[in-house]
Structure 1
Amino acid sequence: MKRILVFVGALFISSLLKAQTVVYTSNGNEMISELKLKEERDNIKKKFTKIFKKEMFVGTKIKKTERRNDSIIHFISFDVKDNKSKKSKMESLVGKEFPSFKFKDINGKEISLESLRGKPTLINFWFTKCKPCIDEMPHLNKLKKKYKNSINFISMTYENKAEVNSFLSKEEFHFKHIVNVKDFIDELEIESFPLNVFLDENLKIKVLESGLPYQTINGKMVIKNANSFEDIIKTLNIK
């Protein structure tokens, strides 16, 4: 059975670092808590499982993101299906060589996949209005400072040079930045951000991770550290 129905909902997350609210919604009008969102997803699952008399599955996707005043608004959809989602293209590539590319970074220097061979690589997919992307940047910068040139630290975004330069004039993100690669990102079928891709020295994809996990501290959702990413790095062959 193909996709049956698409639902949209909303989710608030408080950020200790910038006191902004991250909202997930279809139109910016209906706003529900993370707990209520989970309850709604469970209710949708139960409803359609009953209707079709077999277990149904509910998936979510972020379609776009907007910034409005003190809120970051992520537009999402809930997809109801009668089977579990197939692996994404990136998931299907785990254990295989990362797709070939040749681009210029934000400073005009050419970067190709082959130029990364010989040492591990972390590729971060992000965009400037992605709050989780921004929240994890200080921790990614610490990894870059610690491992320096023993690991390739690359970022990719569909946004253009002007947008990224404007962002970098206010925020620190010390990776090598590849911009304006929407076609490549679409080809990889990447829809949720951030996405962190860990390659070994032979350019094979070892691990895929979304953003660093949040923790609740004093009632606030914050990223505590990058220990989980460092644990992955330690499994790679760092020379």
Structure 2
Amino acid sequence: MKKSILLLFFFIFRSILNAQVTYYITTDSIKMTEENYLQIKKEMNERKDLVGKYQEILIKSDHGNDTIIKTIKFEKITFAIGKNQKFYDPYAEQRKLIGSHFPIELFRDENDNYYDTDFLKGKPTVVNFWFTNCPPCIEEIPDLYKLKKEYDDSVNFIAITFESRKKVNKFLEKKPFFNFYHIPDSQKPINKLKVESYPITFLLNKEGEIVNIYGGNLFFQMQNLKNLLGWLK
């Protein structure tokens, strides 16, 4: 009996020693314990002037022997004005995906094979949803080209559309500098992601998880995206 009690205390004591402590650090270099972090989250959810107006972005998690350090960012959501003159978030559905795995395995390659789940792992990824008759999509192509040129092979650059490969290739003959890795013929997986407004860009971390989304022309949000890429690389 005594031996069993001693063994129980031993395992409890060892689990306490091996328990990892979580700390949080913001992109503004503000460090918080988990208790501080939860208190701030609680206050943000209780304040009417803040609730629903900010999103939390988990940029990365660094695991040590006894600590986990999570780098986060609180970002203000840009609202649009609807027909009833009320403010709303046009990308609320996509924003729910932040922190989850980007389902690349739902898409098919040029040989009609599904991509492997880990296809995008190892590098940060920029995924741009577009189509050839979308004026703002075409308007942002020069900025996408500059972004790809700046980061080169250190980042995956993917362009996804519901249009046919034939139509995309014909378009690229006139705009060859839109030199992303193109995945056309993707209406069904696009529907599953509930992408309806174009252009929209997803930023993924090295694990293939969605870090942030950028709706509309990326020109006005480029610095934000680059700042996050700096943390992800």
Q: What TM bracket, shorter-length normalisation?
A: 0.5 to 0.7
Higher-Rg member (1/2): 2
Query: What's the CA shift string for 1:17-50, capped at 9, x where partnerless?
Result: xxxxxxxxxxxxxxxxxxxxxxxxxxxxxxxxxx
**Structure 1 residue corresponding to 2:163, chosen from 147, 159, 162:** 159
Corresponding residue for residue 133 of structure 2:
129
Q: 2:193 aligns with which of 171, 188, 193?
A: 188
Partner of 2:178: 173
Q: Distance in 1 between matches of 2:137 and 2:164?
A: 17
> Which amino acid letter does the alignment assign opposite residue 189 of structure 2?
F
Q: Normalization by structure 2: what TM-score?
A: 0.57
Number of residue pairs the alignment of both structures matches: 153
Which residue in 2 is equivalent to 1:139? Answer: 143
Q: CA deviation at 1:130?
A: 1.0
CA–CA separation in structure 1 for the residues paired with 2:222 and 2:91: 26
Q: Contact (CA 8 Å) 1:106, 1:177: kept in 2 or not?
A: no
Corresponding residue of 2:227: 231
SS across alignment from 2:198? coil
Identity, in percent, stands at: 35
How far, CA to CA, are the matches of 1:121 and 1:150 in structure 2?
Answer: 9
Which consecutive unaligned segments of at least 5 residues does structure 2 have?
Answer: 1-78
- Structure 1 gaps of 5+ residues are 1-56, 61-77, 215-224
Q: What is the CA deviation profile of residues 118-174 of structure 1, one whole-angstrom value per residue up to 9, with x for unaligned ones? A: 111110000001111111111111111121111110010000111101110101311
Tell me: CA distance 1:88–1:112, structure 2 relative to 1, closer, same or farther (3 Å).
Answer: farther
TM-score (norm 1): 0.56
Deviation of residue 226 (structure 1)? 3.7
8 A Cα contact 1:118 1:201, kept in partner:
yes
| Structure 1 letter corresponding to 2:188 | D
Greater than 6 Å deviation, 4+ residue runs: 107-110
Task: Indicate which of 207, 211, 214 corresponds to 2:212.
Answer: 207
Q: Which has the higher helix share?
A: 2
Partners of 2:204 and 2:117 lie apart in 1 by 11
Question: Partners in 1 of 2:200 and 2:91 — Cα distance?
Answer: 15
Inter-partner Cα distance in structure 2 for 1:100 and 1:145: 23
Query: 2: CA distance between counterparts of 1:181 and 1:169?
Result: 21
